[in-house]
Amino acid sequence: MAKKQHTLDVKDRILNASRELFVQHGYNGTSIRDIATASDTNIAHVKYYFQSKNKLFEQIFDEAFDILVNRVFSILNSDLSFSEMLESWINAYYEILPEYPQIPIFILNELNHNSEHLIALVKKHEPEEIFVKITEKLAVEVKKGNIKEISSIDFCLNVISLAVFPFILEGIVIKVANISSADYHAVLQRHKKLVIHFITAALKP
């Protein structure tokens, strides 16, 4: 029993330390040695439990990505009104991505190097049903005359790109504008309202 508890303790320490390091320094700026030092373990422990830095990062990403996808899909599959759904959907990114800033960067990495893994993560949440739900809601709003006609793909791309891309640019903007991460997150909270307004205005007939 004590050995099992020790195993869980070591793994948890490695995972917790890794999350913090990846957030602070990014994937490339974090080494296995850094993780071992921060978790008060050793390199052999990290490799024994997680095989490699990439496998460790992948596990952390999978957990974080599930949280984001579950939140977004629950919103899109809800009975909220169209305007409530849109606002809640955008808000979800601005609430979750500051806590899990590794998600956008890892998505880009997966798209370039392991897109099948990313597709599998999304598919297990049955995105086809969600897409049908969005299509139906758009059709209802168009019929009511509340919005102009727009394809579901265009609509989803607009929301995702406008809401997620600011988080991808965080590192660049902080350095170029010479501001802190906290300052940038304050900017994003204001920017969120602009994104909601921009998309809502663009849908008006």
Amino acid at 135: T
Cβ count within 10 A of residue 33:
11
Position 6 scores a pLDDT of 52
List Cβ<8 Å contacts ≥24 apart for 169-176. Answer: 170/101, 171/26
Position 158 scores a pLDDT of 95
What are the extents of the domains in the chain?
1-51, 53-203
Alpha carbon 173 to chain centroid, angstroms? 19
Domain 53-203 has CATH 1.10.357.10: yes
Q: Please indicate whether the domains covering 1-51 and 53-203 agree at the CATH topology level.
A: no
Closest CA to 167 of 53, 16, 26: 26
pLDDT at 5 over 80: no
Task: Render 124-149 in DSSP notation, one character per residue.
Answer: TT-HHHHHHHHHHHHHHHHHHTSS--
pLDDT at 3 over 70: no
**Separation between Cα atoms, residue 185 and residue 149, nearest integer Å:** 34
pLDDT in tens, 130-165: 888 889 999 999 999 999 999 999 999 999 999 999
Position 99 scores a pLDDT of 81
pLDDT class of 168 with cuts at 50, 70, 90: confident
pLDDT at 76 over 70: yes
Q: What is the CATH number of domain 1-51?
A: 1.10.10.60
- As a whole-number percent, the residues of the chain with pLDDT over 90 amount to 52
Q: Would you call 28 helix, strand, or coil by DSSP? A: coil
Kindly report the average pLDDT of the chain as a whole number: 87
pLDDT in tens, 17-68: 998 888 777 777 889 999 999 999 999 999 999 999 888 988 887 788 788 8
